[in-house]
Amino acid sequence: MIDIKLIRENPELVKENIRKKFQDHKLILVDEVLDLDRKSREAKLNGDNLRSERKSLSEQVGILMKSGKKEEANAIRENVQKINAALEENEALEEKYSEEIKQRMMKIPNIIDPSVPIGKDDSENVEVQRFGEPIVPNYEIPYHADIIEKFNGLDKESAGRTSGVGFYYLIGDIARLHESMLAYARDYMIDNGFTYCIPPFMIRSDVVTGVMSFEEMDAMMYKIEGEDLFLIGTSEHSMIGRYKDQIIKKDQLPINITSYSPCFRKEIGSHGLEERGLYRVHQFEKQEMIVICEPQDSMAWYEKMKNLSINLFRNFNIPVRQLDCCSGDLADLKVKSCDIEAWSPRQQKYFEVCSCSTLGDAQARRLGIRIKGEKGNYFAHTLNNTVVASPRALIALIENNYNEDGSITIPEVLRPYMGGKKTI
Q: Quickly name the fold that domain 4-105 has.
A: Helix Hairpins (1.10.287)
Q: Which amino acid is at 318?
A: I
Domain ranges within the chain, ordered by starting residue: 4-105, 122-418
Task: Please tell me the predicted confidence (pLDDT) of residue 270.
Answer: 45
Q: Do 4-105 and 122-418 have matching folds?
A: no
How far, CA to CA in Å, does 314 sit from each of 50, 93, 94, 310, 419? 67, 58, 56, 6, 22
What global pTM score does this model have? 0.89
Q: What is the pLDDT of residues 354-395, one digit of tens each?
A: 999 999 999 999 999 999 988 899 999 999 999 999 889 999
> What is the sign of the dihedral through the CA atoms of 112, 308, 386 and 314?
positive
Q: What is the pLDDT of residues 23-36, one digit of tens each?
A: 999 999 999 999 99
Q: What is the pLDDT of residues 96-120, one digit of tens each?
A: 999 999 999 999 999 999 999 999 9
Residues of the chain with pLDDT under 50: 270-274
CATH no. of 122-418: 3.30.930.10
Task: Please tell me the predicted confidence (pLDDT) of residue 231.
Answer: 94
